[in-house]
A and B are shown apart, each in its own frame.
Chain A
Amino acid sequence: MDDRAAALILAFAWNLFSSWIGASPGRALVRGVPRWEQDLDWNRTLRGWFTVLFIELTFFSGWLITEVDLPSFFTKFSKASDIVRGLVHPSGVVLHQGLVLLVQTVFLAFMATAFAIPLAFVLSFAAARNLTRSSRFSRVMYTAVRTGMNFTRAVEPLVWALIFISWVGIGPFAGVLALWVHSIAALTKLYSESVESIDPGPMEAITATGAGTFQVLRYGVVPQIIPPYLSFTIYRWDINVRMSTIIGFVGGGGIGYILKPRVDLGEWGQVGTLVLLIAVTVWLMDLVSAKIRERIV
């Protein structure tokens, strides 16, 4: 069956489906539809037809651009079955090296998180709207920190890893730095959101005693944010463990560092062992972090 025909048929089917469930794309997607059109079915207005046409064109071009290949998907599974066989028959050859690197992976994530905490803690006050309304200086600081952190967060840890590998060389420390930078930005965002949701009452009470800025933060803000900060920090460590399993793909240390060559060589039994080790670790971290966070909140 020709790809293009399949795309057209799928798009048409989707189109029929959406009009069948009563979702009118013309009305949902185009704002400011005139009153007189709102009560009409989508297929009775020109705007409705154009919207549907536009969505179908997007879907159709996406099909071509991403080279969707349904026949391969359905007929060539046997090639990949090697991997599945490897997963089911893991090889003991890499078990020892894998376990050692797994410990490195977890500590890589831990160090990245630990280094990020103090910086994110300080930055989170500057990035909280409710603490930065009073002066011009603090408003400028808010915008600067927010913008910087949004930019930092927009760059994926794998890209940061490439940058730090050329800086400090291949190895786990480059991975620590990559996850560190990303974690500062992510934690600052999470932390500052919990600062923004505090009860302003105690802050006012401390301000009214004649206390200075740092005392107001220490007494009126910090006690309220400690539980959410702990919770977010453990959550971040959990995410960092996930990320540090693949940061080795580009040379950032951790278990990914030996996984990549085994995939390239087709050592599926060894790949199976490593993938299982990663899965168990991530699953355990997830479990432990959820349990701890449950107890904090």
Chain B
Amino acid sequence: MSGGDVPAVRIEGLGKVFDGRIRALADINLTVREKEFLVVLGLSGSGKSTLLRCINRLVDATEGHVWIFGEEITAATGARLRELRRQVAMIFQQFNVVRRHSALINVLSGTLGRASLLPSLFLKFSQDDRERAVAALERVGLGGREHHRADTLSGGQQQRVAIARALLQEPKLILADEPVASLDPALRHSVMRHIEALNREEGLTVICSLHDVDLVRRYATRVVALRDGRLVWQGAPDELNRYTYREIYGTEAEPATNTVM
């Protein structure tokens, strides 16, 4: 990081305890530079989702601070909080598209942070936004599907609708929480490719949790690993090997046999 650059995300002393007793995160310190493709690794239950959700405040941390492009989101409320959220798009493992809405309306809902309130409550959007939504669907390979209801689309198509929704949000940061874990392995690259394009072509910062080591090597520019809510490892994707793997997943874990490490 060259001096004076504002990091995309800065996290200090972040901790989260659910219901006063379940500790999900402890003392996380992490800085993510602009245009990084940061992958978060960890077993399920290690705190990946909680970490990502603390960044856009879908979950409120119990300790610590988070800054987004220099502004503290953990201190923001009301309109200020929504303003900061607008800069951060999220992609979910379960897609979370609105099933009974068309693909087009789903994509347009990405603009809700800046759309005018009353028309948006009647599903009305500006012509300009509608054209951009059509283009975004085209871009993720769903041209011509604008008026298909989301629940008639396959999982991979729904996730691409969610990516187009993120595009319309015009964010500076993308949080992707296991974006391909619910998809057929054969389809994973078709979704990851689009997230990669946002990173490479649009210059967006990406923070993405993943399971599959092959995907990590292919897409990450940097890797951090969580274990029991703590950051236990950071490094470059090509530093992942049998030994670091044990460090991340514990001594009982073995890399999948077909994975060359």
Contacts and interface: CB of A to CB of B under 8 A. Distances in A.
Contacts of A209: 85-86, 89, 109-113, 165, 169
Contact of B92 (A201, A210, A212): A201
A36 interface: no
Interface in A95-124: none
B9 to A, nearest CB: 15
A205 interface: yes
Interface in B53-108: 56, 58, 82-86, 88-90, 92, 94-101
B232 interface: no
A212 B81 CA distance: 10
Contacts of B126: none
A219 B58 contact: no
Contacts of A224: 99-100
A202 B158 CA distance: 12
A203 to B, nearest CB: 8
A210 B121 contact: no
Interface in B135-193: 162, 165, 169, 175
Interface in A224-275: 224, 226
A10 B101 CA distance: 62
Contacts of B85: 207-210
Interface in A192-222: 201-202, 204-212, 214-215, 218-220
B113 A202 contact: no
A209 to B, nearest CB: 5
A215 B98 contact: no
Given A205-B97, A210-B85, A210-B113, A215 B120 contact: yes
B117 interface: yes
A148 interface: no
Contact of A210 (B82, B97, B99, B117): B82
A62 interface: no
Contacts of A220: 98
B94 A206 contact: no
Contacts of A223: 98-101
A218 B100 CA distance: 12
Given A210-B83, A214-B117, A215-B117, A205 B90 contact: yes
Contacts of B109: 206, 209, 211, 219
Contacts of A214: 117, 121
Contacts of B88: 208
A211 B113 contact: yes
A202 B83 CA distance: 19
A208 B90 contact: yes
A179 B51 CA distance: 50
A219 B113 CA distance: 13
B100 A226 contact: yes
Contacts of B111: 209
Contacts of B114: 210
Given A212-B117, A218-B120, A205 B92 contact: yes
Interface string A31-53: 00000000000000000000000
B98 A202 contact: yes
Contacts of B95: 201
A207 B90 CA distance: 10
Contacts of B165: 205, 209
A208 B99 contact: no
Nearest to A217: B121
Interface string A180-195: 0000000000000000
Interface centre among B56, B88, B109, B115 (most CB of A within 10 A): B109
Contacts of A201: 92, 94-96
A208 B56 contact: yes
B121 A215 contact: yes
Nearest to B59: A204
B160 to A, nearest CB: 14
A272 to B, nearest CB: 49
A217 to B, nearest CB: 9
Nearest to A216: B112
Contacts of A211: 82, 109, 112-113
A219 B100 contact: no
B112 A206 contact: yes
Contacts of A206: 98, 109, 112
Interface in B11-58: 56, 58
Interface of B: 56, 58, 82-86, 88-90, 92, 94-101, 109-115, 117, 120-121, 162, 165, 169, 175
A-B pairs, 5 with minimum CB distance: A210-B113, A210-B86, A211-B112, A201-B96, A205-B96
11 contacts: A204-B58, A204-B90, A206-B109, A208-B90, A209-B111, A210-B82, A210-B113, A212-B82, A212-B112, A218-B121, A219-B98
Given A202-B99, A214-B117, A219-B101, 11 more contacts: A201-B96, A202-B96, A202-B98, A208-B58, A209-B89, A210-B83, A210-B169, A218-B120, A219-B112, A223-B99, A223-B100
